[in-house]
């Protein structure tokens, strides 16, 4: 089953972070995402380009709907012509499989526009 076909699972504070081997296996499904470290936490981040602010805002709202549906929430930065989406699991202070699932679903939203 691809990441896009999966659902997020409820995450607990003691849930394990994704291992480097697991991340290496999943990254090919989200090739445009960067793994970044911010404030000591590993995160997945991608910038999406748009023709104008209205398109960027519409995409931001679609990602917000996805986040509510999955019960998993990213950081969203909406600017003129671009949206930066950052997924990570707040409860564990790093990456969980849920972040890869939501990154893949965010890609699908971008492709559908």
Does 14 fall in a domain? no
Does 27 fall in a domain? no
Does 74 fall in a domain? yes
- CATH number assigned to the domain comprising residue 67: 3.30.1360.20
Q: Render pLDDT for 12-52 as a digit per residue (tens, 0 to 9).
A: 888 999 999 999 999 999 999 999 999 999 999 999 999 99
pTM: 0.96
Q: Render pLDDT for 103-112 as a digit per residue (tens, 0 to 9).
A: 999 999 999 9
Q: What is the pLDDT of residue 47?
A: 98
Number of structural domains the chain divides into: 1
Alpha carbon distances (Å) from 108 to 3, 5, 42, 66, 103: 11, 11, 23, 11, 9
Does 8 fall in a domain? no
Let me know: does 98 contact 70? Beta carbons within 8 Å: yes
Q: Report DSSP state, residue 108.
A: H
pLDDT at 11 over 90: no
Does 70 fall in a domain? yes
């Amino acid at each position: 089953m691809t990441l896009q076909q999966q659902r997020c699972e409820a995450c607990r504070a003691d849930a394990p972070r994704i291992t480097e081997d697991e991340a290496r296996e999943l990254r090919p499904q989200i090739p445009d995402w960067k793994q970044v470290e911010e404030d000591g936490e590993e995160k997945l981040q991608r910038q999406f380009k748009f023709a104008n602010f209205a398109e960027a805002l519409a995409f931001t709202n679609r990602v917000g709907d996805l986040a509510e549906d999955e019960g998993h929430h990213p950081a969203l930065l909406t600017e003129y012509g671009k949206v930066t989406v950052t997924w990570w699991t707040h409860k564990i202070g790093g990456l969980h499989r849920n972040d890869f699932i939501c990154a893949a679903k965010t890609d699908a939203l971008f492709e559908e526009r």
